[in-house]
Amino acid sequence: MNLSVVIPNYNGEKILSKNLPIILDEINNYKNGKTEVIIVDDGSCDGTDNVLRGIEYNNLRVIHHTSNRGKGAAFLTGLSNAKGEFVIIQDADLEYDPHDYLKLMQVIKEDNIDIVQGARFKKGYHGLFIHRLGNRILTVVLNFLFNSHLNDYATCYKLARKTTFDSLCLKSSGFDIDVEIVCNAIKKRLKVAEVSVSYYPRSYKEGKKIRLKDAIWAIFYMFKYRF
């Protein structure tokens, strides 16, 4: 197995029913080795089960949490069950395009990189101004604390070898998993590269979940992992 795609999900009935067939189609067209998809249902209490039972895909595995434990916990469950040499996080809302897997894989293989991130700011970030501003401020704070030069630390797309993710000793259960991955990688002096990716942000009406409190917690965790 070459690549494991981990999709954390919580109460995503509508999003999964609309986007999962598209995502699986896109992944099926990925021609750079055998790919598996791991959906971790994080204690959903809507009709997610019915959607997942109706999906047929050769290399699809569904893992259920009995209670809602958070995005980080869902990713770590997927990571521990991954069979691929490489692992990437994919959100089911299709804000990120699986077509970009190939670009990320080329960089990590050809340039001897440990972690490749899909950066949104390099190409031009589209979406709510407050999100653009907030993400830039958070990235500046992280760069200051860790003497790094990242463009977009909070991107969903983080691709690495499974062994690399395992070496980071990740413990975060919530959205702060993005902070922990980057901070631990920098502290371990791993090579982190960024590649421009496509981005199609959702609005709050469409289910966008990130709020101001998440930014405050992100800064808290940056200081925690730094000191």
Q: Are 44 and 74 in contact (CB under 8 A)?
A: no
How far apart CA 106 and CA 101 sit, in angstroms, is 9
DSSP letters, 94-136, are -SB-GGGHHHHHHHHHHTT-SEEEEESTTT---S-HHHHHHHH
**With bands split at pLDDT 50, 70 and 90, how would you rate the model's confidence at 55?**
confident
Q: For residue 203, is pLDDT > 70?
A: no
pLDDT of res. 77:
98
Please tell me which residue, 133 or 82, carries the higher pLDDT value: 82
Domain with 21, as residue range(s), is 3-226
Out of 50-59, 87-96, 99-108, pick the least confident: 50-59
Least confident stretch, 11-25, 155-169, 179-193, 196-210: 196-210
Whether 205 shows a pLDDT value over 60: the answer reads no
Q: What is the pLDDT of residue 34?
A: 87
Helix (H), strand (E) at residue 163: helix 162-167
Mean pLDDT, rounded, of the chain: 89
Domain CATH for 184: 3.90.550.10
Tell how far CA 120 is from the center of its chain. Answer: 13
* Angle in degrees, CA 117, 122, 123, rounded to 5: 110
Q: Which residue's structure tokens are 């942000």?
A: 201
Lowest mean pLDDT among 31-45, 136-150, 165-179: 31-45
- The per-residue pLDDT for range 97-139, each reduced to its tens digit, is 999 999 999 999 888 899 999 998 776 655 666 777 888 899 9
Summarize the confidence of residues 157-170 as an average pLDDT: 97
The pLDDT, as a whole number, for residue 164 is 98
CA angle 205, 198, 168 (to 5 degrees): 95
pLDDT on residue 6: 97
Output 49 or 181, whichever has higher pLDDT.
181
Question: Residue 61's beta-bridge partner residues?
Answer: 38
The helix/strand/coil state of 149 is: coil
pTM score above 0.85: yes
User: Tens digits of per-residue pLDDT, 20-47?
Assistant: 988 888 887 776 678 999 999 999 999 8
Residue 180 CA to residue 38 CA, distance in Å, equals 21
Q: What is the model's pLDDT at position 210?
A: 64
HSE-up of residue 41 (Cα within 13 Å, Cβ side): 22
Structural domains counted in the chain: 1
Give percent of the chain with pLDDT exceeding 90.
Answer: 57
| Coil/strand/helix, residue 224 | helix
